[in-house]
Structures are given as structure tokens and as C-alpha cells.
């Protein structure tokens, strides 16, 4: 029976990882495709490679078995119930994400897993087994994530428009201002990779050392870019968009790498907990994640991107508002910045919600008529439905697994 459960857990983890790749690829590549910085085929290939690299090499090797502390394991009872609940939660969350991706709607895979765990906790341990305070933070993130990123995107694009695009001599203005954006972009990238991450822990970097190193490298790159832009002949205003295109591709690649590192835990975290229980016959709050599971999650994400990733990319990249390279850069930069700041402050944020919020913020910078409110309404509805639907679907799956197990 143990071997059957192990095989089932691997299959379910692969399915969930496939869903993550299918839906969440839009977080990193939608704006680049929408702004025509890269083609859809290029985006799918780049994202699949970087998500795997992020999942396998940077993904956390220690994860919470009860995702986000939503369920109190001490109130679940026997370990067998947790195994059934973890499997049911992953299946239910995966089914909801599959439906959302089919409808080309971007949803949070983290919130789908959280909602599914709420359903499991309710039936296995009662209402007291669910951490309602943590669930409240998830609900708050529906507002915090898009609002934070949206406001930031609105401000950044307004700055770009005022100090570059609307200047009489916009080429000269671009030469002066763009090095600051280069510095800020690399500062965000290196800080995100080093501050309180598995990679930073491996390198034994403190917070101050991470910031100093990130700042030093970013300043050097910005200075080299400044020397390069001074010697480059910018013959027309369209050249400005071409330069933003290069920066945007860079930020999109960063988001893809970070996404693989962070989101792989949604698929393999509960499975790592299952393997731990099968080995020790007790529920642990934190467990080691094997390289095999990290690779499995990475492969699943890759497959999801390569097979179905295009569906949500089209919604986020072209259906909410019209994008060009300067707007696309603003979206990626704003989403990455807001996620870094919020996560370090302990605020509940979703990459999906942040990216969509940034797209809306850039659209609103051109007026309300530049944003398709019908698409936004559908997206927001899918966010609100994610937790309750995942919770409800988990319950019959959980009881079915228990019935089969007996």
C-alpha cells in the first residue's frame, strides 16, 4: 500500500506542477508577449527553461508540510488522514486551476492550494483545525496584491511618460534617465535572489551583505550601460522602445526564474509531507525536500508551460489593455518590486494578482477607457471563487480516498 500511495503522490504532484506551469507562466511572460518583445513560442521556451532552473536550483529544500500554516496538524489525528487530505487538496486545487486555464483566466495557484487545505481541515479536524487568521490574510491579498502593484505601475509609467516620452527631446531625456531604471532593475533582481532566500543562505549572506553586493553589482552595470548609451546613436524615438524591450526581456526572465523557485512548493510541499509521514509515521511541520521532488516539480512546470501556457498569456498580455515595450517593462518591474517589498514585510501577496494589478495600473495611466473592464470582472470573479471552490471540491475527494483506503 505504501508503494501505491507513493506513486499516486508523485502523479498528483506532477499534475499540480503541470497546472502551475499552464497558468502561472503568464506572470513572467504575458507582458513581454503582449508588447511584442518576444514571440509566444520564444516566451514558452524561455519560461520553461528558467522555471525548471528556478525550481531545481533555487527552490527551497525545506518546506511547510501544511501550506501557509492554514491547518493545525495536531488536530488532524492519525497521519493517514493527513495523507488523504494532502492528496485530495492537490487534486482539487489542480482541477480548479485546469478549469481556470481552460477559460484563460489567471488565478493564484497558492490560493488554490490554501483553499483546498481549508476544505481538508474542516472535514478532518473541524473548524478549529483551520487557522482563520491566515485565511484572512489570503483574502486581504486579493486587494493588497493588485492594488500595491497597480499603484506602483501607475506611478512608474507616469514618471517614464513625464521625464522621457513627453519631453521635447525625448532621446536626450532617455539617455539621462534610463541608467536609473537599469540600476533599479538589477537591484530588484539581485536583492530578490539573495535576501532571505535559499540561495542567500547557501552563500551565507546577511541582509546587509546582500544589499551591499546587490547595490555594488547594479551600480557597476548601470555605469557600463551609461557609457554604452552615450556612444549609441539613437536616430529616432522608436529606438527608445527598442531599449525598453531589452530591459523588459531581462525582467521577464527574472520573474520566470523566481516563479519556478517560489511556486514549485505548491506542488511538492504536501507530497514531501506525505513521504515524510510514510517514513516516520508522524506529521512534521517542516520537512526536507529531496532533489528528486524538486526536479519532478520543475519538469511538471515545464510541461505545463509547453502545452497550455499560451492560454493565460493571451489574456494578461493582450486582452486587458494594449501594451508596448515601455509599458511592458513597467509591468514586470512593478510586479517584481511590489512582490519583493511585500514579501520582506511579511505581507500576503500573489504573483498572479500583482502582475494583473500592474497591467491594470499601466492601462489606467492612459485613462479608464484603455482598460477592458469586462475582462477584469471575469478575472476578479475567478480570484474570489478560487478558495471556496477548491475547499468544497476537496471534501468529496477526501472522503473517496478514505473510502478506497479502507
DSSP 160-229: HIIIIITSTTHHHHHHHHHHHHHHHHHHHHHHHHHTTSHHHHHTT--HHHHHHHHHHHHHHHHHHHHHHH
Distance from the first to the final alpha carbon of the chain = 11
Contact predicate 47/332, CB 8 Å? no
- The CA–CA distances, whole Å, from 316 to 101, 166, 205, 210, 286 equal 12, 27, 36, 33, 35
Predicted local confidence at residue 193, as pLDDT: 77
Residue-number span of the structural domain to which 151 is assigned: 2-405
Spell out where 230-331 has E strands.
286-288
Q: Give the C-alpha separation, 205 to 187, whole Å.
A: 16
Contact predicate 256/47, CB 8 Å? yes
Predicted local confidence at residue 79, as pLDDT: 86
Predicted local confidence at residue 62, as pLDDT: 61
Contact predicate 358/173, CB 8 Å? no
The per-residue pLDDT string of the chain (406 residues; one tens digit each, 9 = 90 and over) reads 668 889 999 999 999 999 999 998 888 898 899 888 999 889 999 999 988 988 887 777 666 655 557 888 778 878 888 899 999 999 999 999 999 999 999 998 888 998 999 999 999 888 998 989 888 887 888 788 899 999 999 999 999 989 888 888 888 888 888 899 899 989 988 887 787 666 677 777 788 888 899 999 999 999 998 888 877 766 566 677 887 888 889 888 888 887 887 788 888 888 888 888 888 888 777 787 888 888 999 999 999 999 999 999 989 988 888 888 888 889 988 988 887 777 766 666 788 888 999 999 998 988 878 889 899 999 999 999 999 999 999 999 999 999 988 7
Domain count, the chain: 1
Please tell me whether residue 63 adopts helix, strand or coil conformation. strand
Predicted local confidence at residue 72, as pLDDT: 81
Contact predicate 97/22, CB 8 Å? yes
Considering only CA atoms, which of 129, 92, 62 is closest in space to residue 265? Answer: 62
Q: Which residues are within 8 A (CB) of 212 and not within 5 positions of it... i.e. 6 or more apart?
A: none
Predicted local confidence at residue 236, as pLDDT: 60
- The CA–CA distances, whole Å, from 25 to 111, 307, 352 equal 16, 11, 9
Predicted local confidence at residue 168, as pLDDT: 81
Amino acid at each position: 500500500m505504501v508503494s501505491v500511495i507513493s506513486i499516486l503522490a508523485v502523479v498528483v504532484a506532477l499534475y499540480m506542477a503541470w497546472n502551475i506551469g499552464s497558468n502561472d507562466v503568464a506572470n513572467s511572460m504575458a507582458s513581454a508577449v503582449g508588447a511584442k518583445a518576444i514571440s509566444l513560442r520564444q516566451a514558452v521556451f524561455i519560461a520553461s527553461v528558467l522555471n525548471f532552473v528556478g525550481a531545481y536550483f533555487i527552490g527551497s529544500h525545506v518546506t511547510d508540510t501544511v501550506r501557509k500554516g492554514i491547518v493545525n496538524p495536531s488536530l488532524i489525528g492519525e497521519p493517514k488522514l493527513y495523507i488523504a487530505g494532502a492528496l485530495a487538496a492537490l487534486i482539487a486545487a489542480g482541477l480548479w486551476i485546469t478549469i481556470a486555464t481552460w477559460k484563460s483566466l489567471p488565478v493564484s495557484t497558492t490560493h488554490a492550494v490554501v483553499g483546498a487545505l481549508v476544505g481538508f481541515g474542516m472535514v478532518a479536524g473541524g473548524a478549529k483545525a483551520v487557522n482563520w487568521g491566515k485565511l484572512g490574510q489570503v483574502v486581504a491579498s486579493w486587494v493588497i496584491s493588485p492594488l500595491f502593484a497597480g499603484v506602483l505601475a501607475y506611478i512608474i509609467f507616469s514618471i517614464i511618460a513625464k521625464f522621457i516620452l513627453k519631453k521635447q527631446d525625448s532621446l536626450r531625456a532617455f539617455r539621462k534617465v534610463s541608467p536609473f531604471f537599469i540600476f533599479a532593475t538589477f537591484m530588484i533582481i539581485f536583492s530578490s535572489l539573495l535576501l532571505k532566500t535559499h540561495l542567500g543562505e547557501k552563500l551565507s549572506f546577511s541582509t546587509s551583505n546582500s544589499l551591499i553586493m546587490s547595490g555594488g553589482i547594479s551600480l557597476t552595470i548601470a555605469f557600463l550601460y551609461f557609457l554604452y548609451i552615450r556612444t549609441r546613436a539613437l536616430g529616432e524615438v522608436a529606438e527608445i522602445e527598442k531599449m525598453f524591450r531589452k530591459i523588459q526581456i531581462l525582467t521577464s526572465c527574472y520573474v520566470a526564474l523566481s516563479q519556478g523557485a517560489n511556486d514549485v512548493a505548491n506542488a511538492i510541499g504536501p507530497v514531501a509531507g506525505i513521504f515524510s509521514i510514510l517514513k516516520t509515521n508522524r506529521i512534521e511541520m517542516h520537512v526536507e525536500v529531496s532533489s528528486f521532488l524538486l526536479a519532478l516539480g520543475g519538469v511538471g512546470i515545464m510541461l505545463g508551460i509547453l502545452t497550455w501556457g499560451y492560454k493565460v498569456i493571451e489574456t494578461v498580455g493582450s486582452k486587458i489593455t494594449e501594451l508596448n515595450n515601455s509599458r511592458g517593462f513597467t509591468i514586470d518591474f512593478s510586479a517584481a518590486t511590489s512582490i519583493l517589498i511585500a514579501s520582506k514585510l511579511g505581507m500576503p501577496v500573489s504573483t498572479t494578482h500583482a502582475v494583473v494589478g500592474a497591467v491594470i495600473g499601466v492601462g489606467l495611466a492612459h485613462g479608464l477607457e484603455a482598460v477592458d473592464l469586462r475582462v477584469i470582472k471575469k478575472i476578479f470573479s475567478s480570484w474570489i471563487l478560487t478558495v471556496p471552490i477548491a475547499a468544497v471540491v476537496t471534501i468529496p475527494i477526501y472522503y473517496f480516498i478514505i473510502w478506497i483506503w479502507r
